[in-house]
């Protein structure tokens, strides 16, 4: 066969091998979700289930009231992602392309917020969220009620600024040629128009990447939602699923995996939907 | 830079644009950080009132052997996984940019570790590292190498976790490189190819430099992130065997939430933050020096 | 010029809407006459059901005008949750914690209330097992009311006993018997162990609680000495106990480092990867029903082995009252209600633990012979010591345990070094 065909076969083989390495735990997770509990104790452990046992899904959905928490998590993740991307894009543009006093210092400040381990800011933030004025029964001094605790907002507002997002978009915007913007400015366009009509469309892949990352982070968040949602009505999916895994009463592994699979479907959906924007050919054709 | 050098309208718009972000950070990050900083000068178990002790906590840090071990492991982990993360994720992004059938499926599968729950990941990896029947030892035996204890060997435990850490976090870095690859105008590549450059030369002279903003981002954020590695350690080994895999943040967690020494934990956290800040600033300096 | 700023206006407007949404789109707190906040462990859905739908409504019925608000505690993050609640001034009036350790940790800081005045003349306390009652006491004062117990008797598989030619009705009663039977019960395929004769965990708390602690207790020793001023195993008898456990793995080879892998993380007796194991009754019984119901009859329970005394490890949960609660009498009433025999039993059944009550011996709910053994084992149960330094030294013990069990440090050296460190810790204020 020709060298080209051989190279292609090699490429496919490599890609498939890597796919196996990357996806095996995921497939195993799927496989447990479809097993009956009795299959779990087969020795030696079998990788694939005997049949497609759907009861785990039915049980975990109903018994754990998953539909409610699913909805909560969807709301939180979508709203948070939209906010994060909007705020990050707005902030990234000046850091990348405009000149203003203290620009570099402010940028380092933004990055610096990533450097404090969350374990020590967790409780102060909790107290802060409880004390936000004029919410949850609080007066103007933030006293008297419970602030944003036990609301879905507590899961959205404290995290609406993403320093990683600002950094990421700043990097991508900085690769865009200055001449493009200078030309537009000479033409009389305002910075806002430049931002919304020129910059945003050109960094679609980066916006997509950030959206995927943020959605996933919000979806999988566990410790913070556990702390601030003390009423089951505002639980997220992760908090609800964590109850299936306990030290003392044993874990419902098959149901836990079924719940986890359900929880993972939106993440994969968002990814598959988003990765279309990674298709080649988005690059612009040239400078005017 | 003297103020006159700036264009007034640009400055105004710039501050307007960054305002939501800065305000948000000031309220929801800086206030808690100041709080934590103040706590670091106290003996505070959170249940009762704090007691001011000045620099006592910071002094104690210097003789804390567990924290020292955690720091050592942390730096080893962060610096050791960095090259693999950068090059493997770039490699994968390249593969996922090829013209092959079923590309979206491949992309989804390569991204799978990111969406697989830590529980499922730990089950599979614990099995692979099982000293008796695990995959790695099975392969080693075929080459005549005796069984390794992996996660039960203090020398191998951390590298074992590092391998798993690299594997788990390739997905995010990969999609950043994928996004960056889209931004490289085809015409640069074609021009270089027309000039007679080989594939390798095209990569080094054209693609790699153009990817540098993305690479810089990946290096900086991954460094900041892996220095704070915690979840993986907690789930897989809880710092064991015998502190061989404890990390700085793991130590912070133990002091804060198991020993009720929130003040001490805060001091530890700030000590770590200073180290992270120094390394990040170093990154920026290096970048400026190689200016690209 | 308005067109130029049209987009800016739109954004400002949206932001304003967002702000209003922030202010008004939040749930207010229901105004009740009195609210009692109770922090309880979120374990099985059945427990949630019992507490949410039976116990708390019953309490509300008995005390009109009172509303109970349940704060669900994730056992693995319980301190984060409690500490955050305390820091924000939202501490629960009542909360559940681990026996011995929580009363010591929280009691020593004055965070939980001394219940002596409530329990002095309370008839209910006579129904508690001694060990269960003592598990809520710190420095002579009652801080907690024990509501559930999890003892660790010896579990074994009768079918594996038969397979190995052993009498399924005669489980081991001494260390030697345990050793010999374990050796016989270990199943191999070539040189690979496919079934451990006795489960020998080497990591984390299992290596202690299901590991060498029972043997240490059986020597008449404790983790700490009587006065809690030093470790209790830094002596020949202690070394003997730990060495016995260590040698089960490394000399007698009844298990293998890393364990025999199973698809599901639970007690190996259930998955068939071990023939005997010391493990919590709750998880063992429940998971056996869950994963191997058809073999349920083959599961046998036995009291722990004995040397100088018969002993094993036990854990459990205890209810404590916030010392700053505004409604102490009301909170006590809830504790009393929960501690009523029918309620404690229902809670125990839901949680698959044992109620700490003596009268349970006659309760048909626990008629199963294995529950009988578990109940009997309560008398032999020894918990973690109740020391306020628990949070500080527990990881030292785990590190020592792992260093010994994974052959990283020689036994005596590890014990000596850890004893030095922990003794220093204990002598600090």
Look at residue B155 and give its three-state secondary structure: helix
For position A284, what pLDDT does the model report?
Answer: 40
For residues B122 and B119, give the distance between their C-alpha atoms in angstroms, rounded to a whole number: 5
Within this chain, do residues B82 and B21 fall inside the same structural domain, yes or no?
no
Task: Give the nearest partner residue to A40 out of C74, C90, C263, using CB atoms.
Answer: C263
Q: Which residues of B are less than 8 Å from C402 in CB distance?
A: 240-242
Residue B210 CA from chain centroid, whole number? 23
CA distance C8 to C6: 5
Is the backbone peptide bond immediately before A44 cis, with ω within 30 degrees of 0? yes
Name the band, by pLDDT with cuts 50, 70 and 90, for residue A66: confident
Q: Can you give the CATH number for the domain in which B208 is found?
A: 1.10.3720.10
Q: Transcribe B94-146 into DSSP letters.
A: HHTTS--TTHHHHHHHHHHHHHS-HHHHHHHHHHHT-TTT-HHHHHHHHTTPP
Residues of B in contact with C9 (CB under 8 A): none
Residues B34 and B54 in one domain: no
Minimum-distance CB partner of C262 among A41, A151, A242: A41
The helix or strand, by DSSP H or E, that contains position B2, with its residue range, turns out to be none
Contact A122 C271 (CB under 8 A): no
| Cβ count within 10 A of residue B270 | 22
In this structure, what token pair is assigned to residue C77? 């993050």
Range with top average pLDDT, A21-25, A58-62, B189-193: A21-25
Q: Which stretches of chain B sit within 8 Å of chain C by CB? A: 20, 45-48, 123, 126-127, 129-134, 149-154, 237-243, 254, 257-260, 262
Q: How far apart are CA A275 and CA A267, in angstroms?
A: 12
Phi-psi category of residue A281: left, alpha or beta, with phi > 0 → left and psi -120 to 50 → alpha: left
Residue A258 pLDDT > 50: yes
> What are the structural domains, with CATH classification, of chain A?
1-53 (no CATH), 70-278 (1.10.3720.10)
Q: Is A82 exposed, middle or buried (0-12, 13-18, 19+ CB in 10 A)?
A: middle
Closest CA to A225 of C77, B221, B26: C77
Distance CA C36, CA B236 (A): 38
A213-239 b/e with 16+ CB inside 10 Å = b?
bbbbbbbbbbbbbbbbbbebebbbbbb
Q: Please state at what angle helix C175-185 crosses helix C236-250, rounded to 10 degrees.
A: 10
Inter-residue contact A218 to A157 (CB < 8 Å) = no
Residue B148 Cα, gap to closest chain C Cα (Å): 11
Chain A CB contacts of C27 under 8 Å are: 136, 150-151, 234
pLDDT value for C158: 96
User: C-alpha angle with apex C403: C402 to C404, nearest 5 degrees?
Assistant: 90
Contact residues on chain A for C194, CB-CB shorter than 8 A: 43-44
Q: What is the pLDDT of residue B213?
A: 92
Cα radius of gyration rounded to whole Å, chain C: 25
Tell me which residue in B129, B132, B237 faces C192 most closely, judged by beta carbons.
B132
The packing angle between helices A103-112 and B262-289, to 10°, is 140
Is the same domain home to B54 and B138? yes
When scoring A9, A23, A109, A116 by the number of chain B Cβ atoms within 10 A, the one with the most, hence best to mutate, is A116
Query: Could you report the per-residue pLDDT of B123-181, keeping only the tens digit for each?
Result: 889 989 999 888 999 999 999 998 899 999 999 999 999 999 999 999 999 999 999 98
Mutate to test the interface with B, among C408, C420, C429 (most CBs of B within 10 A): C408
> What is the distance between the alpha carbons of residues C67 and C72, in angstroms, rounded to a whole number?
16
Same domain, B183 and B275: yes
DSSP C61-89: HHSTTEEEEEEEEPGGGHHHHHHHHHHTT
* Backbone dihedral angles phi then psi of residue A66, each to the nearest 5 degrees: -65, -30
Give how many domains chain B has, as a whole number. 2
- The chain-wide mean pLDDT, for chain B, equals 90
Task: Give the model confidence (pLDDT) of A150-190 as tens digits.
Answer: 999 999 999 999 999 999 999 999 989 888 888 888 888 88
Give the gap in angstroms from C-alpha C197 to the nearest C-alpha of chain A: 16
ipTM score here? 0.90
Contact status, residue B158 vs residue B77, Cβ threshold 8 Å = yes
Of residues C135, C106, C101, the one with CA closest to residue C205? C101
- What residues of chain C score a pLDDT lower than 50? 1-3, 21, 23-31
Tell me: pLDDT of B255 over 60. yes
Q: Do A15 and B106 touch (CB under 8 A)?
A: yes
Q: How far apart, in Å, are the Cα atoms of A240 and each of A67, A234, B123?
A: 11, 10, 21
B29 shares its domain with B89: no
Whether B35 has its CB under 8 Å from any CB of chain A: the answer is yes
Expressed in angstroms, the distance from the first to the final Cα of chain B is 22
Strands C94-98 and C34-41, by their bridges, are: parallel
Name the β-bridge partners of C382.
C313
Could you tell me if B25 and B131 lie in one domain? Answer: no
Rounded distance, CA C122 to CA C126, Å?
8
Other C-beta atoms lying within 10 Å of the C-beta of residue A200: 17
Q: Which chains have 3+ CB pairs within 8 A of B? A: A, C
- pLDDT confidence band for B1 (50 / 70 / 90): very low
Question: Which residues share a beta bridge with B115?
Answer: none
Tokens read off for B226:
């892996």
pLDDT of amino acid C264: 79
Gap between the Cα atoms of B190 and B192, Å rounded: 5
In this structure, the answer to whether residues B17 and B57 fall within a common structural domain is: no
**Helix boundaries (H) for chain B:** 8-25, 31-39, 56-61, 65-95, 103-115, 118-128, 135-142, 154-168, 170-182, 186-194, 199-202, 208-210, 212-226, 231-236, 248-257, 262-289
Give the chain B residue nearest C112 (alpha carbons): B47
Buried b (16+ CB within 10 A) or exposed e, B60-82: ebeeeebbebbbebbbebbebbb
Residue B45 lies in domain: 40-289
> Could you say which of A137, A150, A246 has the minimum Cβ distance to residue C44?
A246
Q: Which residue out of B112, B136, B267, B271 would a mutagenesis test of the A interface target, given it has the greatest number of A Cβ atoms within 10 Å?
A: B112
Decide if A279 and B182 are in contact by the 8 Å CB cutoff. Answer: yes
Q: Look at C391 and B237 and tell me if their CB atoms are within 8 Å.
A: no
Residues B49 and B5 in one domain: no
Contact A275/B175, CB-based, under 8 Å?
yes
Tell the burial category of C199 from Cβ atoms under 10 Å away from its Cβ (0-12, 13-18, 19+): buried
CB contact under 8 Å between A153 and C25, yes or no, is: yes
- Using CA atoms, how far residue B119 sits from A261, C32, C429, in Å, is 12, 41, 40
Report the alpha-carbon distance of residue B142 to residue B200 in Å, rounded. Answer: 35
Contact between C304 and C211 (Cβ < 8 Å)? no
**Which run of H or E residues covers position C93?**
none
The answer on B230 and B209 residing in a single domain is yes
Identify the band that residue B89 occupies on the pLDDT scale cut at 50, 70 and 90. very high
Write out the two tokens for C242.
């730990």
Tokens 């922090």 found at: C39
Q: Does pLDDT of B253 surpass 70?
A: yes
CB within 8 Å: C399 and B242 = yes
Contact criterion met (CB below 8 Å) for A264 and B115: yes
Residues B217 and B124 reside in one and the same domain: yes
CA distance B175 to B93: 7
Q: Which of A249, A253, A255 to mutate to test the interface with C (most CBs of C within 10 A)?
A: A249
Report whether pLDDT(A43) > 80.
no
Backbone angles phi, psi at B124, to 5 degrees: -65, -45
Please tell me the predicted confidence (pLDDT) of residue A246: 67
* Residue C157: its H or E element: strand C154-157
Instruction: Give the model confidence (pLDDT) of A68-118 as tens digits.
Output: 999 999 999 999 999 999 999 999 999 999 989 999 999 999 999 999 999
| Pair C305, C178: CB distance under 8 Å | yes
Integer Cα distance of C91 and C154 in angstroms: 39
- Count CA atoms within 13 Å of residue C96 on its CB side: 23
For residue C86, list chain B residues with Cβ-Cβ distance below 8 A: 46-47
Task: Answer yes or no: are the C-beta atoms of C90 and C82 closer than 8 Å.
Answer: no
Q: Are A223 and A122 in contact (CB under 8 A)?
A: yes
Handedness of CA B280, B282, B284, B287 (dihedral sign): negative
Two tokens at A257?
């995996």
Domains plus CATH for chain C?
A: 34-151+314-382 (3.40.190.10), 154-313+386-427 (3.40.190.10)
CB contact under 8 A, B213 and A171: yes
CB atoms C74 and A226 under 8 Å: yes
CA–CA distance, B8 with B12 (Å, rounded to integer): 6
Q: Which pTM does this prediction carry?
A: 0.90
Residues of A in contact with C45 (CB under 8 A): 63-64, 243
Residues 6+ apart with CB under 8 A from A143: A131
B124 & B29 share domain: no
Q: Which of residues 88-127 of B touch A (CB under 8 A)?
A: 92, 95-98, 100, 104, 106-117, 119-121, 123-125, 127
Q: Which residues of B touch C110 (CB under 8 A)?
A: 48
Contacts (Cβ under 8 Å, ≥6 apart) of C30: C67
Same domain, B25 and B125: no
Spatial distance between the Cα atoms of B160 and C346, rounded to a whole number of angstroms: 45
3-state SS class at C5: coil
């Amino acid at each position: 066969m020709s060298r080209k065909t051989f190279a292609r076969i090699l490429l496919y083989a490599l890609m498939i091998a890597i796919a196996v390495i990357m996806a095996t735990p995921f497939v195993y997770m799927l496989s447990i979700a479809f097993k009956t509990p009795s299959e779990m104790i087969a020795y030696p452990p079998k990788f694939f289930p005997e049949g497609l046992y759907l009861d785990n899904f039915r049980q975990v959905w109903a018994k754990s009231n998953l539909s409610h928490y699913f909805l909560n998590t969807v709301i939180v993740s979508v709203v948070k992602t939209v906010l994060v991307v909007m705020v990050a894009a707005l902030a990234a543009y000046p850091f990348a392309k405009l000149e203003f006093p203290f620009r570099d210092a402010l940028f380092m400040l933004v990055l610096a917020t990533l450097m404090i381990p969350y374990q020590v800011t967790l409780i102060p933030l909790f107290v802060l969220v409880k004390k936000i004025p004029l919410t949850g029964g609080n007066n103007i001094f933030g006293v008297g009620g419970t602030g944003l605790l036990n609301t879905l907002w507590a899961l959205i507002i404290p995290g609406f600024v993403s320093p990683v997002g600002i950094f990421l978009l700043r990097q991508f915007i900085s690769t865009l040629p200055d001449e493009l913007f200078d030309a537009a400015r000479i033409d009389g366009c305002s910075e806002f128009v430049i931002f919304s009509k020129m910059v945003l469309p050109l960094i679609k892949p980066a916006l997509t990447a950030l959206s995927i990352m943020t959605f996933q982070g919000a979806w999988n968040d566990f410790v913070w939602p556990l702390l601030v949602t003390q009423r089951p009505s505002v639980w997220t999916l992760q908090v609800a699923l964590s109850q299936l895994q306990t030290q003392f009463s044993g874990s419902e592994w098959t149901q836990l995996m079924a719940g986890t699979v359900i929880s993972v479907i939106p993440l994969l959906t968002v990814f598959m939907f988003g990765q279309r924007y990674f298709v080649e050919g988005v690059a612009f054709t040239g400078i005017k | 830079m003297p103020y006159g050098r700036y264009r007034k309208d640009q400055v105004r718009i710039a501050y307007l644009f960054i305002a939501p972000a800065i305000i948000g950070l000031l309220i929801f990050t800086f206030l808690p950080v100041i709080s934590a900083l103040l706590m670091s000068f106290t003996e505070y178990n959170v249940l009762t009132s704090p007691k001011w002790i000045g620099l006592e906590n910071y002094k104690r840090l210097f003789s804390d052997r567990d924290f020292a071990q955690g720091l050592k492991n942390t730096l080893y982990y962060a610096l050791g996984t960095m090259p693999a993360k950068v090059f493997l994720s770039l490699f994968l992004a390249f593969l996922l940019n090829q013209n092959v059938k079923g590309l979206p499926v491949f992309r989804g599968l390569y991204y799978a570790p990111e969406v697989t729950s830590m529980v499922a990941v730990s089950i599979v990896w614990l099995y692979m590292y099982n000293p008796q029947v695990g995959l790695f030892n099975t392969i080693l035996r075929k080459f005549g190498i005796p069984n390794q204890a992996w996660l039960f060997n203090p020398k191998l435990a951390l590298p074992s976790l590092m391998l798993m850490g690299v594997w788990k976090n390739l997905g995010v870095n990969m999609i950043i490189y994928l996004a960056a690859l889209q931004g490289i105008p085809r015409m640069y590549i074609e021009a270089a190819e027309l000039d007679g450059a080989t594939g390798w030369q095209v990569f080094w002279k054209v693609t790699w430099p153009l990817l540098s903003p993305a690479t810089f981002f990946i290096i900086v954020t991954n460094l900041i992130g892996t220095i704070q590695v915690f979840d993986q350690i907690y789930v897989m080994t809880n710092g064991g065997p015998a502190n061989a895999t404890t990390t700085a943040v793991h130590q912070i967690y133990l002091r804060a939430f198991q020993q009720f020494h929130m003040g001490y934990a805060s001091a530890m956290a700030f000590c770590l933050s200073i180290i992270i800040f120094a390394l990040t600033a170093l990154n920026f300096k290096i970048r400026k020096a190689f200016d690209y | 010029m308005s067109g130029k700023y049209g987009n800016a206006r739109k954004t400002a407007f949206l932001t304003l809407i967002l702000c209003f949404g922030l202010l008004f789109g939040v749930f207010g707190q229901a105004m009740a006459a009195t609210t009692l906040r109770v922090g309880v462990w979120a374990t099985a859905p059945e427990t949630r059901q019992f507490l949410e739908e039976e116990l708390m409504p019953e309490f509300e019925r008995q005390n009109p005008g009172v509303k109970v608000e349940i704060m669900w505690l994730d056992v693995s993050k319980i301190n984060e949750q409690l500490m955050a609640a305390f820091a924000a001034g939202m501490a629960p009036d009542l909360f559940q914690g681990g026996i011995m350790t929580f009363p010591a940790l929280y009691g020593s800081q004055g965070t939980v209330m001394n219940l002596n005045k409530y329990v002095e003349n309370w008839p209910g306390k006579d129904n508690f097992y001694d060990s269960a009652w003592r598990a809520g006491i710190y420095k002579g004062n009652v801080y907690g009311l024990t509501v559930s117990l999890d003892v660790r008797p010896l579990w074994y598989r009768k079918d594996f006993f038969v397979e190995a030619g052993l009498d399924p009705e005669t489980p081991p009663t001494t260390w030697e018997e345990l050793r010999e039977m374990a050796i016989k019960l270990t199943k191999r395929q070539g040189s690979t162990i496919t079934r451990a004769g006795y489960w020998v965990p080497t990591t984390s708390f299992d290596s202690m609680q299901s590991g060498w602690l029972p043997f240490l207790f059986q020597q008449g020793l404790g983790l700490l000495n009587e006065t809690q001023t030093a470790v209790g195993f830094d002596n020949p008898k202690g070394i003997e106990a730990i060495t016995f456990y260590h040698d089960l793995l490394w000399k007698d080879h009844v298990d293998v480092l890393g364990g025999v892998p199973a698809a599901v993380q639970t007690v190996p007796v259930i998955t068939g990867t071990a023939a005997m194991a010391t493990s919590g009754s709750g998880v063992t019984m429940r998971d056996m029903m869950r994963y191997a119901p058809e073999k349920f009859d083959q599961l046998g329970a036995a009291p722990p082995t004995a040397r100088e005394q018969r002993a094993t490890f036990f854990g459990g949960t205890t209810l404590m009252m916030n010392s700053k609660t505004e409604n102490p009498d009301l909170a006590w009433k809830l504790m009393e209600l929960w501690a009523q025999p029918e309620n404690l039993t229902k809670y125990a059944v839901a949680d698959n633990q044992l109620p700490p009550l003596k009268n349970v011996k006659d309760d048909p709910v626990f008629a199963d012979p294995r529950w009988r053994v578990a109940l009997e084992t309560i008398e032999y149960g020894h918990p973690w010591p109740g020391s306020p330094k628990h949070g500080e030294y527990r990881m030292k013990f785990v590190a020592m345990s792992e260093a010994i069990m994974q052959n990283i440090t020689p036994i005596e050296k590890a014990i000596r070094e850890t004893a030095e460190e922990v003794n220093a810790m204990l002598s600090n204020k």
